[in-house]
Amino acid sequence: MKYEFTIVVPLFNEQENLLRVEKELSNYLKIATKETCILFVDDGSQDNSLNIIKDICDRQPHFHYISFVENQGLSAAIKAGFDYAATEYIGYIDADLQTDPEDFNLLLAKIKDYDLVTGVRSNRKDSFTKNMSSKIANGIRRSFTHDQMDDTGCPLKVIRADYAKRIPMFKGLHRFLPAMILLQHGKIIQVPVRHYPRIAGKAKFHLLNRLVGPFLDCFAYLWMKKKYINYKVNENA
């Protein structure tokens, strides 16, 4: 089968969620608007996650995986998904399933006219502390990037693969994906998507790394913006 769309699922110690991920993504494949495959990226899990995704991939023909030798962080896992995907479009969803795979169809409906379509979580089902820290972090980041995105941390995105593969990723840059598409003179848009509470597993981010990390990463982004190489070929032979 010639796939058009790869859904990257980065994960670290998500054994409690993975069978539900299999069920929900299998159901999505039945209604997907493009021929779709799933790519798990195991970020050096220390629980039974890797064995579970191997079993899933054995019984699900459209599911595949790669695994890291050791934990490298979310940005590295997303970059690996971009590197290994072989389709025109690449999506991304967290293994905690706080967003709905069915909403990929909402994003795919817009991708023809854009280079990145990102979800913005409606009526978020997180704690007050998490919601407020996320709002503050988004405000700080937006003041640096001017990307006009309200929820860059939303774990539901669709990107044109040629743009995704040109992003020079570093740790923390997953928060700046829309801004990095703008650096390539790409077009971005946000679309409201559903949001659910986490029902299994543990969140990997807390107040400190949701505020301090993104603030420091803004300076890395400014350096990247100043040094970014962007060219267009006129002719070649």
| CATH number, domain with residue 53 | 3.90.550.10
> pTM here?
0.84
pLDDT at residue 10, as a whole number: 97
Q: Is residue 60 situated within a structural domain?
A: yes
**Distant-in-sequence, close-in-space partners of 61: CB < 8 Å, separation ≥ 6:** none
Strands ordered across the beta sheet of 156-160:
63-67, 36-42, 5-11, 89-93, 156-160, 116-121, 188-193
pLDDT at residue 50, as a whole number: 97
pLDDT at residue 216, as a whole number: 81
pLDDT at residue 161, as a whole number: 97
Q: Is residue 236 situated within a structural domain?
A: no
Q: Is residue 237 situated within a structural domain?
A: no
**Distance between alpha carbon 66 and the CA centroid of its chain, in Å?**
16
What range does the domain containing 141 cover? Answer: 5-227
pLDDT at residue 21, as a whole number: 97
pLDDT at residue 138, as a whole number: 67
Q: Is residue 234 situated within a structural domain?
A: no
Total number of domains constituting the chain = 1
| Alpha-helical runs (H) found in the chain | 18-31, 49-59, 74-84, 104-108, 128-145, 161-164, 177-183, 207-227
pLDDT at residue 32, as a whole number: 97
Q: Is residue 206 situated within a structural domain?
A: yes
| Residue carrying structure tokens 């829309």 | 178
pLDDT at residue 205, as a whole number: 54
Does residue 26 sit in helix, strand or coil?
Answer: helix
Residues of the chain with pLDDT under 50: none
pLDDT at residue 154, as a whole number: 86
For residue 116, which phi and psi values (nearest 5 degrees)? Answer: -145, 130
